[in-house]
Chains A and B, each alone.
Chain A
Amino acid sequence: MTDKIKIAIRSLYKIFGDDPEGALEHVRAGVGKTELLERHGHVLGLQDIDVDMREGDITVIMGLSGSGKSTLIRHLNRLIEPTAGQVEVDGEDVLAYGEERLRSLRREAMSMVFQKFALLPHRTVAENAGTTLQVRGVRQRDYLAEARKWLERVGLTGYENHYPHQLSGGMQQRVGIARALTSNSPIMLMDEAFSALDPLIRTDMQDLLLELQKELHKTIVFITHDLDEALKLADRLVILKDGYIVQQDEPQHILLNPNDPYIEDFVSDINRARVLRVRSIMTPLGGGAPPAEAQGEVDFNDTLESMITRSGGDTSHSYVVVQEGAPVGVLEMTNLVKALVPRAASEAGARKY
């Protein structure tokens, strides 16, 4: 994971209606979404969006339906044109691209996975997976070979010559992922990619994605309305509401420091023990020696759930937190228990590590 910014979105606005430019003036003057619709007949899709997406990260954009998340992801490859603002990929302004440059961006730099799979029903699984290479003019033999490789990687060996309608939903989405991988693009856009799948299959697919990501280090932009999914996948979480960003940060931090009642509502139903990690609630050593009375060492990235099991529920315990062999902090079980309760956790001043 590098710190290089792969995709940067700068003060992006999108307004739907007959005169978006005119409506933009009203929005800049402070008119809200509801008022804009009632008084001016325009829909405010996105409002002053600023996001940096780091190379090799999974950036999850989360929001309820109508929050503008699908609109936002379509601005990255310009399936939707913004009303104002910039989208930069590798430091280049995508919005300035002509037709030819845009096409090569879509062909080589970005690939997309869709909620409804969007496979071509008249082509076989292997042909579908090869589509992204085929449109670039790669010969059939070559793109089929590449497609087979990625189909095997997503666990679809033996289905190459089936048609999409012969596969289950989960398998169809595997084809969709293979299709995006075949293009070998550094960026993957996933628009509610797993939302149409059954819960169990969804979990499988999330694991598959994480496993692939461990190996491929793509820059992934993932859209979802499901907080559990967002917390599981995200390196960075962006929460959208009514077209503006409510909060964006590392998921752990958002969980511990929700800056808006909307997000508090959102995170209140989460199994915090499973999502929060030791690093988020430990007391940093700050150069001091680890305490002698500690019951043992725990890893920096362990979940609180595993800590509860380990301590047997005894809140008097404390542990030395270890990152790559070196002690970095102390975990007090009392702090852990506090962190499990949403309000108390944020008030006790749980710190961002």
Chain B
Amino acid sequence: MATYDFLFDGLGLREWCDAGRTGDGPLSMADLLAKGGAGRETPWWDLPFPSLDALNEACGRIAQSRDATKGVEEGFLAIKDALRFVLDPLTQPLSWILEFALLVFEAAPWWVMFPLLMAVVYLATKSVRLIVFVTACLAFLAFIDHYGFAMQTLAIIFVCAFLCVLFGVPIGIAMSRSDRMQRMTIPVLDMLQTLPPFVYLIPLIFLFSVTEPKLYGIAIILYAIVPVIRLTDLGIRLVDRDVIEAADSFGVTDRQKLFGVQIPLALPNIMAGVNQTIMMSLAMVVIASLVSAPGLGVLVLRGIRNLELGVGLVSGLGIVLLAIILDRVTKAALDRVNAAQKI
């Protein structure tokens, strides 16, 4: 006798339940255990929550919990092919870009890469101190023969962060212009931000081949795009209403208002979003080494798998150095924007 028999008896559903009892489904561990102690009365303080499994005991028509999990899996597998048919060609360029970037970063000799990166840092920050710092960090990584791995990681971050900005800023602008769009987008962003990074990888592995770079590319972009969208939206919404009104009073077009007033005035916030996006790309690129993303993450993974303490710690240090470099450079760029806009 199951605990919730009374419920179905009381509702007069007994016949309906028994008609559906097939009894030939696979036994779960709980079933097996229950068989041993069958017939015993359940004491009242052990009353189980009316979960699917508890109800199933009383009425065979109610599905078991494992069926629910199975349903999700089957549902996903059912739409997988269709989804893949659409997404595969759409995302193919991402694979090409990533492969190309990795190729370039690996192929370029260090004596080309160093001055190039120094130039980028100078353009972004106009700070000699930062150039010295960045060069010293990279030189250290190269000195301990982690240069190649670091460049792979950097290549992936550059591509993914760039794409995040490319898609994130327009999405943020659209959100800022329509409250309905904002209401629809925020739950999605909340979900992307709270899903544990590993969970992104599960459906992606089923959708795409593990050997393709776009697999980790998509995971990184989904994870890292959130802050740039949010802060673009916020930044544009925070633009001084008086300035917007002034612009309107001079007869600006929507386009002039967006590019001449809203985006420039939202730039400090957008830049803060870009900084966050880059930092989150870096976090995800390490996890993405689980699905064949190259770079320093691979070494960290090796350190964990093979318990190679030194390898793991040194590559971890490399990641920290990269993080500091990226953070300092983007923050310095942000400060420059802020300084120009002080009100």
Contact = CB atoms under 8 A, between A and B. Distances in A.
Given A120-B243, A121-B342, A122-B341, A135 B250 contact: yes
Interface residues of B, number: 22
B340 interface: yes
B251 A118 contact: no
Contacts of A132: 250
Contact of B246 (A104, A108, A118): A118
B264 A77 contact: no
Nearest to B257: A135
A185 to B, nearest CB: 10
Contact of B252 (A112, A121, A122, A135): A135
A105 B246 contact: no
A122 B264 contact: yes
Contact of A112 (B249, B261, B340, B342): B249
Contacts of B340: 122, 163
B256 interface: yes
Interface in B100-146: none
Contacts of A111: 249-250
B306 interface: no
B245 interface: yes
Interface in A211-253: none
Interface string A269-309: 00000000000000000000000000000000000000000
Interface in A87-114: 102-108, 110-112, 114
Contacts of B264: 120, 122
Given A120-B261, A163-B340, A107 B251 contact: yes
Contacts of B342: 121, 163, 165
A105 B251 contact: yes
B81 to A, nearest CB: 48
B265 A79 contact: no
B251 A114 contact: no
A79 B248 contact: yes
Contact of B242 (A102, A105, A114): A114
Contacts of B341: 121-122
Interface string B242-271: 110111111111001000110011010000
Nearest to A132: B250
A131 interface: yes
B190 to A, nearest CB: 31
Interface string B155-194: 0000000000000000000000000000000000000000
A304 B246 CA distance: 41
Interface in B314-343: 340-343
B242 A118 contact: yes
Given A114-B242, A118-B243, A135 B248 contact: no
Contacts of A112: 246, 249-250
Contacts of A118: 240, 242-243, 245-246
Given A118-B240, A118-B243, 12 more contacts: A104-B251, A107-B251, A108-B251, A111-B249, A112-B249, A112-B250, A116-B242, A120-B243, A121-B265, A136-B251, A163-B342, A183-B250
Interface of B: 240, 242-243, 245-253, 256, 260-261, 264-265, 267, 340-343
Interface of A: 77, 79, 102-108, 110-112, 114, 116, 118-122, 131-132, 135-136, 163-165, 183, 189
26 contacts: A79-B249, A102-B251, A103-B253, A107-B250, A108-B251, A110-B249, A111-B249, A114-B246, A118-B240, A118-B245, A118-B246, A120-B243, A120-B264, A121-B265, A121-B343, A122-B264, A122-B265, A122-B267, A122-B340, A122-B341, A131-B250, A132-B250, A135-B256, A164-B343, A165-B342, A165-B343
**9 tightest Cβ-Cβ pairs between the two chains A and B:** A106-B251, A118-B246, A107-B251, A112-B249, A103-B251, A118-B242, A165-B342, A121-B341, A116-B242
